[in-house]
Structure 1
């Protein structure tokens, strides 16, 4: 198992460096040998609650992708691995919602960032610097704590 502290720090550092929440979360969970640029490309449309529509938090979608990397299945392994992956995915969302009250970006940050004016207000409020790193770290920690569950 990876070092949780360094995974949490890595995710938050990447978020603070400019990665979106999904990009930062997936990279905090993924094995070190994964291609960082490809992960960032895959997650590009998931930041801000799926393309900045305030839907499912990017930290949650990034964590779901991380679960897929760690516990996912292929056509060859679907029969034996699908249930575990799906159970862990549901567990992640349940635990995230229990900890933060929602998995919806709009509810978590208190702003509808699909509206340009409200997105600007959110930026001025500091919510991206104060709240979002907690969601990234929280999602990474939940996945790491699920080792052996499912």
Structure 2
């Protein structure tokens, strides 16, 4: 799954899409739908550099792996929340943060930050590792 996610990331889809679509076959969900639903998570939530979109992709995978949707399934919802909390804790220990701007240490919402992102090949040196570490 990691190889599929990294390949997809280098071929034009965002971090959240890469993580989520790498699980499409395993969880038996439509990969076109996953591309649509995770489209706006690029660059840490709509290029706002908030939560790393590899993390949000993982949140979606964890939610979809526990697909109880009915309001009366409080236990299932709590179990999903616990999985997300554990994932977030583990990811933060590994990377020091789950905030895109902190992880990249640049502001790519400005031209100077975009240049820094490219010049330091952060796509390869940071984002790829975040994607890989988001996949179990």
After TM superposition, the score normalised by the length of structure 1 is 0.83
- 1:67 corresponds in structure 2 to 62
- 1:10 corresponds in structure 2 to 4
Q: Give 5+ residue unaligned stretches, structure 2.
A: none
Checking the alignment, whether the CA contact within 8 Å between 1:23 and 1:44 is kept in structure 2 is: yes
113, 121, 132: which is aligned to 1:118? 113
Q: For the structure 1 residues 51 and 116, does the alpha-carbon distance in structure 2 shift closer, same or farther, using more than 3 Å as the test?
A: farther
Checking the alignment, whether the CA contact within 8 Å between 1:96 and 1:139 is kept in structure 2 is: yes
Deviations 1:16-40 (A, max 9, x none): 1111001001112344432212111
More off after superposition, 115-124 vs 95-104:
115-124
- Return the alpha-carbon distance in structure 2 between the equivalents of residues 27 and 77 of structure 1: 29
After TM superposition, the score normalised by the length of structure 2 is 0.91
The within-5 A match list for 1:80-95 is 80-95=75-90
How much has 1:86 moved relative to structure 2? Answer: 0.4
Checking the alignment, whether the CA contact within 8 Å between 1:53 and 1:112 is kept in structure 2 is: no
The CA RMSD measured in Å over matched residues stands at: 1.5
Checking the alignment, whether the CA contact within 8 Å between 1:30 and 1:69 is kept in structure 2 is: no
31, 50, 54: which is aligned to 1:36? 31
- Return the alpha-carbon distance in structure 2 between the equivalents of residues 30 and 69 of structure 1: 10
Checking the alignment, whether the CA contact within 8 Å between 1:29 and 1:63 is kept in structure 2 is: no
- 1:107 corresponds in structure 2 to 102
Q: Is 1:51 the counterpart of 2:46 in the alignment?
A: yes
Deviations 1:104-139 (A, max 9, x none): 011111111222331232122200122111100101
Q: Give 5+ residue unaligned stretches, structure 1.
A: 1-6, 142-150
